[in-house]
Amino acid sequence: MKLRIQSINFDATTTLESYINKKSLKLEKFFDEIVNLDIYLKVVKPETATNKEAEIKVSIPSVDFFASKTCDSFEEAIDLTLEAIEKQIRKYKEKSTKN
């Protein structure tokens, strides 16, 4: 699995990047054929409290999964976005095993 983290309009801290690394590795437990994992972090509308956005795109052979969440912190946004991706992967696996 190739992991790429992009922080847009700010520099992500080493702590944040290691947190993302640790959390994203758990996706491999659900599905071991993940090819790419792209994570985009942005700060949107700086005047509001909920302005940390995380977008995650997971590529497996023949399918891409995508989720995006905006929260108070990047850690919370990453957690919620990864949960959404896990649900998508579970649904995909259920459909593919029925065929």
What's the pLDDT score for residue 32? 83
- The CATH T-level fold of domain 2-98 is Double Stranded RNA Binding Domain (3.30.160)
For 6, 9, 31, 82, the CA distances from 61, given in Å and listed in that order, are 22, 31, 11, 19
Q: Is 17 exposed, middle or buried (0-12, 13-18, 19+ CB in 10 A)?
A: middle
Question: 46-62 in b/e burial notation, b at 16+ Cβ within 10 A?
Answer: eeeeeebbbbbbbbbee
Residue by residue, pLDDT tens for the chain (99 residues) are 899 999 998 898 999 999 999 999 888 887 888 999 999 999 987 777 789 999 999 999 889 999 999 999 999 999 999 999 999 999 998 888 876
What's the pLDDT score for residue 49? 78
